[in-house]
Amino acid sequence: MTTVAIFVDTQNVYYTAREAYGKHFDYRRFWAKATAGREVLTARCYATDKGDAKQRGFQNTLRTIGFEVKLKPFIQRADGSAKGDWDVGITLDAIEFAARADVIVLVSGDGDFDLLAQKIREAHGKRVEVYGVPRLTANSLIRSASEFMPIEGELLLG
């Protein structure tokens, strides 16, 4: 059976789906699609934690589906900007699992991950499937993937 490791840039998919469609990403349908006929080695969602009840409920829903939820505290800087980036954490985890999984699934439109996708394909010889909102996914990431899976239609709630 094909093995898969899934890494979801939760903040990225939330904001891009909301901006492009005014809708939310359907994690249950995504899970069904990405895991069909595959053995899941890991499935991780990376998010910032503001500590509110609505967010905790969403995180519990993700856990019920089968995701491990990795959290960083939300940091508000003095200048009003915010920090809560998971790019390095996602990259380290994906590289670790690239040695074991047949397929790496990355859910993000962030072009910073193009080098990660390229490295996993070239150095590890693994398939990299990228799910992203088409008009808000970096072209360099789409080109670096083995296959680009658009977040649209059935992968959206409402």
12-39 confidence digits (pLDDT tens): 999 999 999 999 999 999 999 999 999 9
What number of other Cβ atoms are within 10 A of residue 88's Cβ? 9
Q: Is 73 helix (H, G, I), strand (E, B) or coil?
A: strand
The domain limits of the chain are 2-157
Q: Assess contact for 88 and 113: CB atoms under 8 A.
A: no
Q: Which two three-digit tokens encode residue 22?
A: 């005014």
91-125 confidence digits (pLDDT tens): 999 999 999 999 999 999 999 999 999 999 999 99
Superfamily covering domain 2-157 = 5'-nuclease (3.40.50.1010)
Residues, the chain, total?
A: 158
d(CA 95, CA 124): 9
Instruction: Please give the model's pTM, rounded to 2 decimal places.
Output: 0.94
d(CA 100, CA 41): 8
Label residue 154 exposed, middle or buried (CB < 10 Å: 0-12, 13-18, 19+).
Answer: exposed
